[in-house]
């Protein structure tokens, strides 16, 4: 049994970077069997270790990737959540479009559904919005639209190797770990990042880990209703990586009426694109509009685009009312190649 796995199981001392390096080396060389890979994922999913072990794990993965130029995407904010909590439509994805339509440069990272029926990647696929496949393509998409949806290339290849090692078992049973740590695994040269933390995520461990993040602003958003988004009808707290806590009681930033019944996802995934577009143009209800604009305003403030919350809210609300947010989504959809079924598989059309 590898020392990294022993350390996780015994939890007597932090697992250091050298131990993690050895683990990834052996994984890449095919020296770790399926049982050990499954045991590692099961241990991390059952309970995250302390932040020293997590920091060493993240550093051991980061050092294996080509370094991206710091500040390359100046003024850009990444938005990604931990998932879990009450079921809602894809609020963070909608807020990304709205913020971008208001002039904020946004990169959205995410995954397929682990703890929900439709993750951000699943929704984008149904919308016909393509994920980017490289840093250069992401930068080009940002310059063209002000928004980009980064594909799996931003995550360590070691996760793919773990997935292949445990096959035919899927990664879905380990979604709690992947969702919790995923926001720290994506490697993006952004100015700021907002990560929504739901009630099922290990907030204490993530807050400790966030304080070790340098080179960008990092906000962890929480509320007393357990969702991984800011909510007008909840008491919200933003935990920053410089140790501050920004508190916004229910009704302070936007009206506090409504509830989760106003933010429900559609039951039929095939109807999700139409519903999502109705959110962007403000016809999905006042509570949905206020919620998306509140989270879009947070992206604007965190990135430094519009430091004042009141002004940020006004600008994001105008992006919805004017139709700019929906128009942005429609333009990106129209530019994507169409994929159709053929007798031998799929074909992509420019």
Same-domain status, 79 and 199: yes
Examine residue 348 and state whether it is found in any structural domain, yes or no.
no
* Residue 21 contacts residue 64 (beta carbons within 8 Å): no
Residue 333 buriedness (CB in 10 A; 0-12 / 13-18 / 19+): middle
Same-domain status, 12 and 108: no
pLDDT tens-digit series, residues 162-212: 999 999 999 888 888 888 888 888 888 999 999 999 998 889 999 999 999
73-81/345-349 β-pairing = unpaired
pLDDT tens-digit series, residues 107-124: 999 765 544 557 788 899
Same-domain status, 320 and 237: yes
The contacts of residue 261 (CB under 8 Å, 6+ apart) are none
* Residue 334 contacts residue 277 (beta carbons within 8 Å): no
Examine residue 339 and state whether it is found in any structural domain, yes or no.
no
- Average pLDDT estimate for 217-233: 97
CATH of the domain at 116: 3.40.1030.10
Same-domain status, 195 and 249: yes
CATH of the domain at 16: 1.20.970.10
Same-domain status, 44 and 136: no
Q: How confident is the model at residue 150 (pLDDT cuts 50, 70, 90)?
A: very high
Same-domain status, 288 and 220: yes
Same-domain status, 237 and 215: yes
What's the domain count of the chain?
A: 2
Domain of 37 in residue numbering reads as: 3-62
Angle between helices 272-280 and 91-101 (to 10 degrees): 40
Same-domain status, 250 and 125: yes
Examine residue 174 and state whether it is found in any structural domain, yes or no.
no
Examine residue 215 and state whether it is found in any structural domain, yes or no.
yes
Question: What is d(CA 292, CA 295) in angstroms, rounded to the nearest whole number?
Answer: 5
Same-domain status, 198 and 254: yes
Mean pLDDT of the chain: 90
- Average pLDDT estimate for 60-68: 83
Same-domain status, 125 and 9: no
> For the chain, first and last CA: distance in Å?
50
pLDDT tens-digit series, residues 67-79: 665 557 999 999 9
* Phi, psi of 195, deg, nearest 5: -125, 115
Q: How confident is the model at residue 96 (pLDDT cuts 50, 70, 90)?
A: very high
Same-domain status, 124 and 254: yes
């Amino acid at each position: 049994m590898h020392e990294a796995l022993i350390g996780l199981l015994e939890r007597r001392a932090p697992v250091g970077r050298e131990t993690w390096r050895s683990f990834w080396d052996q994984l890449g060389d095919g020296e770790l069997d399926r049982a050990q890979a499954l045991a590692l994922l099961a241990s991390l999913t059952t309970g995250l270790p302390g932040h020293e072990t997590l920091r060493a794990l993240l550093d051991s993965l980061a050092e294996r990737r080509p370094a991206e130029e710091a500040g390359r995407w100046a003024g850009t904010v990444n938005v990604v959540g931990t998932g879990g909590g009450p079921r809602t439509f894809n609020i963070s994805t909608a807020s990304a479009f709205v913020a971008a339509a208001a002039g904020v440069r946004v990169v959205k990272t995410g995954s397929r559904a682990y703890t929900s029926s439709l993750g951000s990647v699943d929704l984008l696929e149904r919308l016909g919005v393509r994920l980017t496949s490289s840093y250069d393509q992401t930068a080009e998409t940002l310059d063209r639209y002000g928004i980009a949806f980064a594909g799996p290339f931003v995550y360590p290849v070691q996760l793919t190797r773990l997935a292949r090692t445990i096959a035919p078992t899927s990664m879905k049973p380990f979604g709690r770990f992947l969702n919790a740590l995923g926001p720290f695994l994506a490697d993006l040269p952004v100015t700021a990042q907002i990560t929504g933390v739901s009630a099922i995520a290990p907030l204490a461990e993530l807050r400790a880990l966030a304080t070790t993040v340098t080179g960008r602003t990092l906000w962890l958003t929480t509320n007393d209703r357990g969702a991984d988004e800011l909510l007008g009808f909840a008491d919200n707290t933003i935990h920053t990586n410089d140790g501050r806590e920004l508190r916004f009681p229910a009704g302070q930033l936007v009206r506090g009426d409504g509830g989760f019944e106003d933010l429900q996802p559609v039951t039929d995934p095939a109807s999700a694109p139409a519903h999502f577009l109705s959110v962007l143009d403000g016809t999905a209800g006042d509570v949905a509009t206020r919620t998306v604009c509140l989270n879009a305003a947070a992206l604007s403030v965190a990135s430094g685009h519009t430091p004042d919350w009141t002004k940020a809210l006004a600008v994001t609300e105008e992006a919805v009312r004017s139709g700019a947010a929906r128009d942005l989504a429609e333009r990106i959809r129209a530019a994507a190649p169409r994929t159709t079924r053929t007798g031998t598989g799929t074909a992509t059309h420019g």
